[in-house]
Structure 1
């Protein structure tokens, strides 16, 4: 009877160790770091016609004579350059 109990305990332990090894990931998959996302493409940069500030094109304001960093610089530049047709 004691012999049968020892055999059952050994079988249960062996089964549990086998199940644990089957569910574990391979060593190669665990050690590989994830690949970083690709960098964002660079934005187009323009220069303010009034003050010379460089800023992204999607933040600039278009006007007569070029691109501007703000409405005040666009108004000042257009007033200084005179009326144009």
Structure 2
């Protein structure tokens, strides 16, 4: 009878650990999915051709720039 109780408790503890890991894994996968759904429009810097998110880029006319330095260099180069 004692061996049966021991095996029962071991099986119960293992089942609880398995369920807990399964729930945790599914939560991680859901959060990964929601992170990958967030997309940003990318634009290319007219000076160095690097792609940056549009909300972080600077625009002048119909051109986009990754930083203020490239915007200024492009303006002086075009003159």
TM-score, normalised to structure 1's length? 0.51
* SS of residue paired to 2:73: helix
Using the alignment, how far apart are the partners of 1:44 and 1:65 within structure 2?
15
1:55 aligns with 2:33: no
In the comparison of the two structures, how many residue pairs are matched? 55
Higher helix proportion: 2
Unaligned runs of 5+ in 1: 1-26
TM-score computed with the length of structure 2 as normaliser: 0.54
Between the aligned partners of 2:76 and 2:61, the Cα distance in structure 1 is 10
Match of 1:71 in 2: 68
Q: Which runs of 4+ in 1 moved over 3 A?
A: none
Gaps of 5+ in 2: 1-14
CA RMSD of aligned residues (A): 2.4
